[in-house]
Amino acid sequence: MLRAGLIASVLAAGLGLAAPALAQNTVYIPAILELSGPGAVSGTNFRDGMLLAIEEINAKGGILGKKIDTPILDTQSDAGISRAQIQKVIDNKPYVIIGPVYSGSVLVDMALAAQNEIPEIVGGEAAAITQKGNKYVFRTSFGQQFSMPKIANYIRDGVKAKTVSLLWVNNDFGKGGRDTFKKEMEKRNIKIVADISSESGQTDFSADVVKIKAANADAIFVYLNEEESARFLREAKKQGIKAPLIGETTLLGQKVIDLAQGAAEGVKGHVGLTVDAPVPAVKAFAERFKKKFNYVCDHNGIKGYTAVYFIKYVTEKMGKFDSKLFAQTLHGLTITPKEEPGVLMEATFDQNGDIDRESFLGQVVNGKQKIVEVLPKLGNSK
Amino acid sequence: MSRLGAVVVIAAAIFAVVLPFFLKPFGLYLISMWAVLTVAAIGLNLTLGYAGQVSLAQGAFVGIGAYTVGLLLPIGVPFPIAFVAAGLLCFVVGWILGYPALRVQHHYLAFVTLAFNTLVFLVLRNEEWLTGGTYGINGTPRPTLLGWSTNKPLDFYFLCLGAMVVLAAATWWMLRSPWGRAFVALRENPIRALSLGLDTRRYTLMAFAIGSSLGGLSGALYAPLVQFIEPNSFALGMSFNLLLMVIVGGGGYFFGPFLGALVAVLLPEWMRVTQDYYLMVYAALIMVMMAFCPSGLLGLVDRVGRRLRSGEQGPAAAAFEPQSTPP
């Protein structure tokens, strides 16, 4: 039996199922991200922002003298695989976990992280994430229950629309946004005259655009992922849609503007995070990012970058590495760029792990996103 | 089975029981996933490998099974009943799906089953009142059987392993019965089978129904293993993956699915050392494997074994020197 056990453990090590020993002078903060599959654009941006922050922090000696050790594990944009990967990193006793970005993956992972009392800083925006009473999950951007009211106000006050057409992508992200948006529209007595769902990865939007045209609404709200947004915009231009196209962050992102090849001109909307924000620290970050990775960072890059600095700030405030205390400390905490320049913009975490920041109203002008108005933090306006 | 084969199987069985005691939860999760997917692959091997009916819908049956359990457990149905219900439901649906197979064959049949898989995906996603739509079903509990809680990873692995062994044994028994012979006859020469008095119609439907119900039973374990099910997990990708397991392991070989599932579950994980390239390396390895052993890994072993027995020492045989002691 002993011999069989010995052989088994040697084999287990050989199979790569056993954990590697970790060095003492590093802190283990693994990242679980969408590096392949439909989430690859978001996941890669998030990863590169994160890597930039880690490089900067490690160059200055790390956190409390420990270098950050961040292996990156790909989820293939699949919840089942992300479930396996989070189990893998939890076996190695992480301090904090970063990612994933896809809300479905976040929902399955965060339960496991909470069971093991390990904080998880995620990129997911689905409303449900912070509504389950999980004490270990923290966002890096607005949840839909924060962004949709801002969009709804803009459609009512800015666009002055009485009717609206809605186009959304039928995955957990799109569905969550659509459900929240619908509620907000009802509250404001704005009628949804067309409610159109589309497929993730859809290439042909001609039928959807025909339907939208037929509905003839005062405004059109588009809630799709990056590549689909661009394909839709090109089709909308081709069929000559005249009503204003309104989006939430993604539709006004640089990646979409580039892919749409001019068809994004005039698109308006609310932007949670953007490298075009009139904030010097964000602009400086965007330049460093462009220099290192040779492309323009989107909002997911900022999410990844600030996630690492949140960890650094909280840990230095506590003066030690304590996962449980980390979660307690971050709840209700406000971090200003004065205290930690790496967070770029002032951010407040509430008791559910939701984040509150300033946000922006923007418009696409000459192939660039232009910010026309800065919206205050929700906490200040309430 | 030869004596060498029996020794290998016994050694593998001991390994499957001893190894988990030395694994952390992640390793346990992976080998549990192996056991679960093996059940579905055994089912597909029955339909495809033995009866020769190409099916690209096995993932859909895993999905139907997973959702059956995911929906029944929260309303208080005990796990054993939900487990059997998943198998029965898939048996019936599989039987119905078998009807097109009476009319079309090969790649035409592949397309029919492919369409069926897409249909199941759309139902799972769009019938929100029942399935929860894109949000899926979160937190399916792991069962407690006769006071034995399988909540811990190790316990749950043994539940999966036990279910796999029982179902595999039942399949083994069936394949050695006249039914098994009938399935093979169906694959090899359906016209001849018919002329010998075999009711090919019934056996074709049976092959589909039994293969599908194994898919459903696999799904019934998948839901409490992952504890999160969503329609995307049971789209075409899952069916292709199961097909890969059967073909890589060796279609029509009883132990093929065990080996194939091992490759499909573990190989991508080992390849992670190549970082960004791991999926590319995995894909390339599969292509190389298929180029050199089109009949799967067990087909290769079989070929080498036969060559050794007949005394011709080919170059392929020489590469397997350690196993060349005659049984």
Tell me how close the Cα of A111 comes to any Cα of chain B, in angstroms.
9
Q: Check CB contact of B227 with chain A, cutoff 8 Å.
A: yes
> Could A84 and B29 be called an inter-chain contact, meaning their C-beta atoms sit closer than 8 Å?
yes
Q: Which of residues 128-167 of B touch A (CB under 8 A)?
A: 133-136, 138-139
Query: Does B7 fall in a domain?
Result: no
pLDDT in tens, B154-211: 999 999 999 999 999 999 999 999 888 888 888 888 888 888 888 888 888 998 999 9
- CATH topology agreement for domains A22-142+280-351 and A145-271+359-381: yes
Read off the pTM.
Answer: 0.84
Alpha carbon distance A30, A118 (integer Å): 12
| A141: exposed, middle or buried (Cβ count in 10 Å: 0-12, 13-18, 19+) | buried
Q: Check CB contact of B190 with chain A, cutoff 8 Å.
A: no
Q: Is A165 helix (H, G, I), strand (E, B) or coil?
A: strand
Q: What is the dihedral of CA B53, B59, B62, B64, to 10 degrees?
A: -100
Query: Does B123 fall in a domain?
Result: yes
Joined tokens for residue A92: 């190695």
Residue B101's pLDDT is: 80
Hey, what CATH class is A145-271+359-381 in? alpha beta
Strands A191-198 and B228-229: unpaired
Q: Which residues of B touch A47 (CB under 8 A)?
A: none
Closest CA to B32 of B168, B150, B148: B150
Tell me how close the Cα of B28 comes to any Cα of chain A, in angstroms.
9
Q: Which residues of A touch B29 (CB under 8 A)?
A: 83-84, 87
Say yes or no: ipTM exceeds 0.95: no
In a mutagenesis test of the A interface, which of B17, B22, B154 is the best target, namely the one with the most A β-carbons within 10 Å?
A: B22
Q: Which residues of A touch B279 (CB under 8 A)?
A: 36, 74, 76
Distances (CA, A) of A108 to A124, A145, B231: 12, 20, 14
Which residue segment(s) compose the domain that B65 sits in? 28-240
Joined tokens for residue B177: 């019965």
> Could B25 and A90 be called an inter-chain contact, meaning their C-beta atoms sit closer than 8 Å?
yes
Joined tokens for residue A18: 């056993």
In a mutagenesis test of the B interface, which of A2, A17, A125 is the best target, namely the one with the most B β-carbons within 10 Å?
A: A17
Domains of chain B: total: 1
In chain A, where the domains are located? 22-142+280-351, 145-271+359-381
* pLDDT tens-place values along chain A, 382 residues long: 445 544 554 455 444 444 444 556 899 999 999 998 888 888 999 999 999 999 999 999 999 999 999 999 999 888 888 989 999 999 999 999 998 998 888 988 998 999 999 999 999 888 888 988 899 999 999 989 889 999 999 999 989 999 999 999 988 889 889 999 999 999 999 999 999 999 888 899 999 999 999 999 999 999 998 889 999 999 999 999 999 999 998 899 888 998 999 999 999 999 989 888 889 999 999 999 999 999 888 899 999 999 999 999 999 999 999 999 999 999 999 999 999 999 999 999 999 999 999 999 999 999 989 998 898 887 754 4
Residue type, B149: S
Domain A22-142+280-351 has CATH 3.50.50.60: no
Tell me how close the Cα of A75 comes to any Cα of chain B, in angstroms.
11
